[in-house]
Amino acid sequence: MNFRPDRARQLTRAFVDNDFSGFDRTVQPSLADFVMTTEYAADIHTSCAFPPENLSNSFGEYLSNLGKTQLRIAETEKYAHVTFFFSGGREEEYQGETRILVPSPDVATYDLQPEMSAPEVTDKLVEAFATVCRLLLENVGRLVEHSTVAILIKEGVFAFSKSHHSTSRIAY
């Protein structure tokens, strides 16, 4: 199941919301019906093919039930990937979970600052890992090779998530 409703939410609103103002519509299609794949947002009033599932025993919940700690760290642009999406659509932290949010750079497009906030995330990661956790989940590809060795030295467990296949190698 895809827990990234952001783009689908925008497109659905363009079709079903009479007051939509995300961009100029010269024509608003007159549809017999519109069916969302799943419920993208509670305030979008249209049919839904597959109601949201209530997931249990996600990886974060599993670790929490074992009494383990975990650190979820990312910059604002990727924060939802290591929190909401990774937890199966859950906003709340699990027992033993720590979250660190680092501001993303204020640029028009990230090709203007491709390193984004990697140095700041790395600093926070190293600082937090020393005391906070045994599992780390991060979403910045360049950090993987720099942080993995430190984590393995502390006998921790390292997991990373990536989007758009941007992470190409890991140091073990």
Closest CA to 114 of 140, 85, 84, 86: 140
For the entire predicted model, the pTM comes to 0.61
- In contact, 81 and 74? CB cutoff 8 Å: yes
Q: What pLDDT digit, counting tens, does each position of 127-161 carry? A: 887 676 555 555 544 444 445 545 555 555 555 55
Q: Which domains, from first to last, does the chain contain?
A: 1-53 (no CATH), 59-160 (3.40.720.10)
Output the pLDDT for position 1.
46
* pLDDT beyond 90 at 7: no
What are residue 42's phi and psi, to 5 degrees? -65, -25
- How far apart are alpha carbons 145 and 65 in whole angstroms? 29
Mean pLDDT of the chain: 77
* pLDDT beyond 90 at 10: no
